[in-house]
């Protein structure tokens, strides 16, 4: 009998923010798969889950390079899917861990698509997790949206000027993966008059967490990949 593949969102970084269902599955599966960008690199998702693991569980690292090269990524997904199917074919249940929520900007989405393509009979269950920006908003006691306000979740913008076109249409925005374009995004927010109602948060729930309402003070620095900006409207602070 083929094993079942679980996609587990382990939350933003605090081991106590794993859901009860994810915790139950995490502790019962014999194999735990974790994404790493390079061979030998530690997995943040594994670090979050580690306090809950049993010594006898097998940890399987799957290389998921941080690349924008489609061919490179496709090879990684093919390889990782093949390794997962080997374990599933042995009748072993496997939990693939991802930070935040498994359905939001996660390598899991591509991986599960490939697994289903290679073997449509594999049973797959995705268990949601708390996103980094939901945790950040809670940390600040800040509503992400109220009433009929619109909320936009926007990944890294290669052209920060696009942000200026989006801002008038949304009372609330979450800008994710902002590290590479941070200074340029802050410039656009200042020009649009929205910088003073924005909060920068990096490594939410992890060691080295940064929370700052002074976006300008964080310019000129190298920021962690796990960084975001929550932008509020003047009327929605």
Domain that holds residue 61: 4-127
User: CB of 122 within 8 A of CB of 85?
Assistant: yes
Domain boundary residue, one of 76, 95, 127? 127
Q: What are 98's two structure tokens?
A: 């991802």
Structurally, the chain folds into a number of domains equal to: 2
Co-location of 98 and 67 in the same domain? yes
Co-location of 89 and 145 in the same domain? no
Co-location of 122 and 30 in the same domain? yes
Q: Look at residues 67, 54, 233, 35 and name the one whose alpha carbon lies nearest to residue 147.
A: 233
Co-location of 153 and 41 in the same domain? no
Q: What are 35's two structure tokens?
A: 């994404």
- Which pLDDT score is estimated for 191? 94
Backbone angles phi, psi at 25, to 5 degrees: -65, -40
Angle at 7 between CA 79 and CA 28, to 5 degrees: 110
- Which pLDDT score is estimated for 36? 87
Q: What is the largest CA-CA distance in the chain?
A: 59
Co-location of 123 and 9 in the same domain? yes
User: CB of 32 within 8 A of CB of 7?
Assistant: no
CATH of the domain at 226: 3.30.950.10
Kindly compute the dihedral angle of the four CA atoms of residues 67, 134, 184, 209, in this order, to the nearest 10 degrees.
Answer: -80
Co-location of 107 and 158 in the same domain? no
Co-location of 47 and 75 in the same domain? yes
CATH of the domain at 23: 3.40.1010.10
- pLDDT tens-place values along the chain, 237 residues long: 889 999 999 999 888 999 999 999 999 999 999 998 866 677 889 999 999 999 999 999 998 877 677 778 888 888 999 999 999 999 999 999 999 999 998 989 999 999 999 999 999 999 999 999 999 999 889 999 999 999 999 988 778 888 999 999 999 999 999 999 999 999 999 999 999 999 999 998 888 999 999 999 999 999 998 899 999 986 544
Co-location of 90 and 110 in the same domain? yes
- Looking at residue 216, the DSSP 8-state letter turns out to be G
């Amino acid at each position: 009998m083929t094993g079942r593949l679980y996609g587990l969102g382990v939350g933003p970084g605090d081991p106590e923010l794993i859901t009860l269902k994810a915790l139950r599955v995490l502790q019962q599966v014999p194999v735990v798969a974790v994404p790493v960008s390079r061979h030998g690199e530690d997995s943040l998702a594994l670090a979050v889950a580690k306090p809950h693991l049993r010594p006898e569980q097998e940890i399987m690292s799957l290389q998921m390079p941080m690349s924008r090269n489609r061919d490179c990524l496709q090879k990684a997904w093919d390889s990782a899917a093949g390794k997962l199917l080997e374990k599933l074919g042995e009748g072993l249940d496997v939990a693939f861990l991802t930070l935040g929520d498994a359905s939001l900007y996660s390598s899991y989405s591509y991986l599960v698509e490939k697994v289903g393509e290679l073997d449509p009979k594999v049973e797959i269950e995705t268990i949601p997790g708390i996103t980094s920006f939901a945790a950040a908003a809670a940390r600040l006691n800040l509503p992400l949206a109220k009433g009929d306000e619109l909320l936009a979740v926007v990944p890294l913008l290669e052209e920060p000027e696009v942000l200026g076109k989006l801002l008038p249409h949304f009372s609330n925005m979450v800008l994710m993966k902002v590290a590479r374009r941070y200074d340029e995004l802050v410039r656009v927010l200042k020009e649009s008059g929205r910088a003073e109602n924005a909060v920068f948060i990096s490594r939410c729930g992890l060691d080295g967490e940064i929370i700052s309402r002074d976006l300008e003070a964080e310019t000129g620095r190298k920021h962690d990949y796990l960084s975001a900006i929550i932008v509020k409207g003047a009327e929605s602070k």
